[in-house]
Structure 1
């Protein structure tokens, strides 16, 4: 995978208008430090940098040529970028770093790109089109896309658009070349669901590793972008050194899958995803107990009951308060707290387990199988699984949305719903709580105000929640 990039092939962006760099979504990202660091790469002035960052910038100026560049783009758009290039003579691996979708752009990678350059790589980092100082327009999740999704328009066309951009479409090609792939993902990912990543990961047959961490989208990696110790970035450096430069991997004892069990537990490693996951254990849904409105999660099936809730009203059962920020609180040991007593049982179906006498560790993909009856031709519900203490305060374990866009009005339908993968330890004495409601700020829904959803349990196919227990 050796490559040699000449800066003459990438036009300079001198003379382009300098736009202000707005604050990114990452609350712990020190953008002022990164700005000073880029300035040091350009001028050699390291005033205001910590000694280690100053040393890295100075060494980079000695070993490589750092230059601001404009990367040509299809359609004529120029993408703002930067190049770290070693002197000609020796073929070197090339690392290309497309920016996150923030206006801070490639600057986010300034420190890490420099560290890669100091390890002998040529590095090109660039800002995605439409962001920061890159030209062009953002083409994903714009007003027209959002209008299509809420109105249910152009679904086949949208799926075809997505298919061409999905890495899963190219798994066979990746496997034919035995491409080495390093994944880093968060358990409570709110932008790219964990199960989608697992689908690709499990289909790959070449060298691969999956790191699962506490938090939300890109949060676990964020401290490493400014050079702080970070196991995900450190693992990536070892991974690339081994697979691009042939260096030994003796110091890396992680298995193929490595995951932290939320904020409560240690890291656990396994050789495969199957080895990482627990055994499936069913908890059967029952009808509502008299005087509570809540059903139960038990080890024995119960049939012949129904539980109805109305649609169109939100409840305190939500995925998160804010994208990424809620995940940061979780990373810092302060996960979002839910007060389950505030959930209006008229707007949600609730099922609660008995207290866990010795606690329980969930590791894998929970599965919900249930029978529902809708009173309208389209309906949505969101399943939330909570860890609840004896005071009714809860933390979210996982969730999944479900939409039936062509519901059979008044007719029972049985569905299998995969909740997002989780790694979570439930303390002794706590209970599991399953909550189904019809709205969540993170999802659009197909419900009409005033309709209902009825959950039941057929005699020949009882409803249950299957949890992966270690």
Structure 2
């Protein structure tokens, strides 16, 4: 695209984003401007309205190749709080490869009618209705239908692919496969994620009463079992057998640090698929990798997704050549290609949590300590430290206040930490560290948040990964809590230390410990941290 057209398109997208919901007439003008801006010799663009089975009108745009058909049909549902213009440039690139591309504004957002129900039955049915419209109004080949989307559009695409037998290939980027695990994993409601969803739907959409009630419950931490049922009904992970039965080709791209849909749920989903599949994991947060492609710039993840659809919808022979593969990239490291997820981390290292003789700072040991002891965590009290950056003062040394982040106080009764000491070689982490803790507490729900840190020799600590865990062992009963931290790709350099930090709260999660809650952790052979490693 020429620089003039790119500037015109960027300007039009900005104006459309500010005005389309408020002024339908101006939105039509913007869409005409966009149609002129992205005119290409290989395809033509038009905007249209699609009527869903319940009469709701969905706004959409269609790219159709100028070459004779039939062509594959690719459906692109818009992301949360976005409209169909989000995919204008990625759809244009797909059309250049020979696909008919139909991108639609999901119901309840912007100019599409209806209410937002967060991938409810009507939302999923809309994808099938859009497929039917595309097959009826174009020369698309009904045997070559695919879906591609990011975030909300990706999650909807997985659900629709599991329910609509016409879908042969699907690509989901920064999406969820298990909504329960994403927003309510380990029974700990994600406060900041829910707040973000609630604010954005209020700005560009119209939430259904049901969705509003579910988000209120998530923020209050109540009706947990009902929330699980709500999330399960919106999770392609519960219908993976349908994808496997039809041998649907599934492409999944995600980031290690996705704060909305954490990576473990997408990795678990990938491992349960038996048909053609590919998983790509890169550093970043939610939608950070897809944004450049949406803006028309170079994007490896969009190139991979486009290649997947080309292989499975355009090249009939490629389907047999691409059955299973995993792409892994750590920050600053050479990308890795593996045949399966099991090949990513072929070995593991198990460390034991030792007693805490010096305040609340203990050792991570390769062998059990001969004198196991218990530590009591004041889980109902706000901890002095946690989060992405910490400073860990050395014994007898005053903390450096100039270091970014919070200062770890070893005497803080609301937290406890264990360190490995300086490593004699690089520790290459690949996958989800697993924590096992023997705990006891009083009646009712209790919980812990675990963080794993890379601690430099000067005490600067950077969070590698973490996760919450909620449990109800019963008064006076000791239970073994099992917690998988979120998967990561991280190298802890030689000379650095590994540190495990446990606290009773984190602002990202709805509070799960009542004031005064005590959690007793027994250190020793049963208290372990298992690290997935590469050589």
Task: Spell out, residue by residue over 1:10-29, the C-alpha distance to the aligned partner (whole angstroms, 9 max, x if none).
Answer: xxxxxxxx873599xxxxxx
- Match of residue 139 from structure 1: 117
Question: Residue 279 of structure 2: which of 210, 223, 228 is its match?
Answer: 210
1:304 aligns with 2:372: yes
What is the distance in 2 between the residues matched to 1:202 and 1:366? 17
Matched residue, 1:419:
485
Judge conservation of contact 1:398–1:422 (CA < 8 Å) in 2: yes
CA separation of 1:343/1:227 partners in 2, compared to 1, >3 Å: closer, same or farther? Answer: farther
User: Which of the numbers 460, 464, 469 marks the counterpart of 2:528?
Assistant: 464
Structure 1, residues 127-185: CA drift from partner, whole Å, max 9, x if none? 22222222222224644113323555443333233223211222221112211111000
Note the 1:378-397 alignment, pairs <5 A: 378-397=445-464
1:337 to partner: Cα distance? 5.9
Report the Cα distance in structure 1 between the residues aligned to 2:237 and 2:267, rounded to whole angstroms: 10
Secondary structure in 2 matching 1:465 = strand
Residues 295 and 350, structure 1, Cα contact 8 Å, conserved in 2: yes
TM-score, length of structure 2 as denominator length = 0.70
User: Residues 384 and 362 (structure 1 numbering): CA distance in 2 closer, same or farther, change over 3 Å?
Assistant: same
Judge conservation of contact 2:410–2:416 (CA < 8 Å) in 1.
Answer: no
SS in 2 for 1:58: coil
Deviation at 1:253, TM superposition (A): 10
Conservation of the 8 A alpha-carbon contact between 1:92 and 1:120: yes
Is 1:69 paired with 2:48?
Answer: yes
* Cα separation, 2, equivalents of 1:430 and 1:70: 58
Please state how far the C-alpha of 1:88 moved relative to its aligned partner.
Answer: 9.5
Matched residues in 1 for 2:30 and 2:357: separation?
A: 62
Does the 8 Å CA contact 2:90/2:296 hold for their aligned counterparts? yes
Q: TM-score, normalised by structure 1?
A: 0.79
C-alpha distance in structure 2 between counterparts of 1:155 and 1:377, whole Å? 14
Matches of residues 441-452 of structure 1 in structure 2 within 5 Å? 441-452=507-518
In structure 2, the residue matched to 1:160 is: 229
Distance (whole Å) between structure 1 residues aligned to residue 445 and residue 225 of structure 2: 18
Tell me if the contact between 2:360 and 2:411 (Cα under 8 Å) persists in the aligned partners: no
SS of residue matched to 2:59? strand
Deviates more, 1:140-149 or 1:119-128: 140-149
Aligned counterparts of 2:57 and 2:242: Cα–Cα separation in 1: 29
Q: Which has the higher contact order (CA 8 A, sep 6+)?
A: 1
Q: Report if aligned partners of 1:315, 1:344 keep a CA contact under 8 Å in 2.
A: no
2:39 counterpart SS class: helix
Q: Structure 1, residues 50-106: CA drift from partner, whole Å, max 9, x if none? A: xxxxxxx231xx44342222232354432222111346962211111111112x322
Q: In 1, distance between residues paired with 2:222 and 2:450? A: 25
**Deviating more after overlay: 252-261 vs 237-246:** 252-261
**TM-superposed deviation, 1:310:** 1.2
Q: 1:39 to 1:344 in 2, by over 3 A?
A: farther
Cα 1:143–1:72 shift into 2, 3 Å: same
- Structure 1 residues not aligned, in runs of 5+: 1-17, 24-34, 47-56, 321-335
Structure-1 separation of matches of 2:295 and 2:274? 33
Alignment of 1:31-430 (within 5 A): 40-42=33-35, 44=36, 46=37, 57-59=38-40, 62-73=41-52, 75-86=54-65, 90-102=69-81, 104-140=82-118, 142-151=211-220, 153-246=222-315, 256-261=325-330, 263-290=331-358, 292-302=359-369, 303-312=371-380, 313-318=382-387, 338-341=405-408, 345-404=412-471, 406-430=472-496
Q: 1:377 to 1:161 in 2, by over 3 A?
A: closer
Q: What do you get for the CA RMSD once the two structures are aligned?
A: 3.0
Aligned length: 407
- Partner Cα distance (2:387, 2:59) in 1: 38
Higher mean C-alpha displacement, 85-94 vs 388-397: 85-94
Q: How far, CA to CA, are the matches of 1:279 and 1:422 in structure 2?
A: 15
The DSSP-based 3-state class of the residue aligned with 1:84 is strand
CA contact (8 A) 1:339 1:393 kept: no
Structure 2: give runs of 5+ residues left out of the alignment. 1-15, 22-27, 119-193, 195-210, 390-402
Which secondary structure state, in structure 1, belongs to the residue aligned with residue 110 of structure 2?
coil
CA distance in 2 between partners of 1:93 and 1:372 (Å): 55
Q: Quick one: structure 1 residues 109 and 315, their matched pair in 2 at CA, closer, same or farther if it must change by over 3 Å?
A: farther
Q: Give the SS at the match of 2:253.
A: strand
Please state whether the residue corresponding to 2:259 is helix, strand or coil.
Answer: coil
CA contact under 8 A between 1:365 and 1:467: conserved in structure 2?
Answer: yes
CA distance in 1 between partners of 2:292 and 2:29 (Å): 17
Structure 1 residues 283 and 74: CA distance shift in structure 2, 3 A: farther
CA distance, structure 2, for counterparts of residue 442 and residue 379 of structure 1: 16
* 1:446 match: secondary structure: coil
DSSP-derived class of the 1:467 partner: strand
Q: Secondary structure of 2:69's match?
A: coil
Task: Show CA shifts across 1:350-381 (max 9, x none).
Answer: 11111111121011121101111223421111
Identify the structure with the greater helix proportion: 2
SS at 1:123 equivalent:
strand
Q: Is the 8 A contact 2:43 2:95 kept in 1?
A: yes
DSSP 3-state at the match of 2:408:
helix
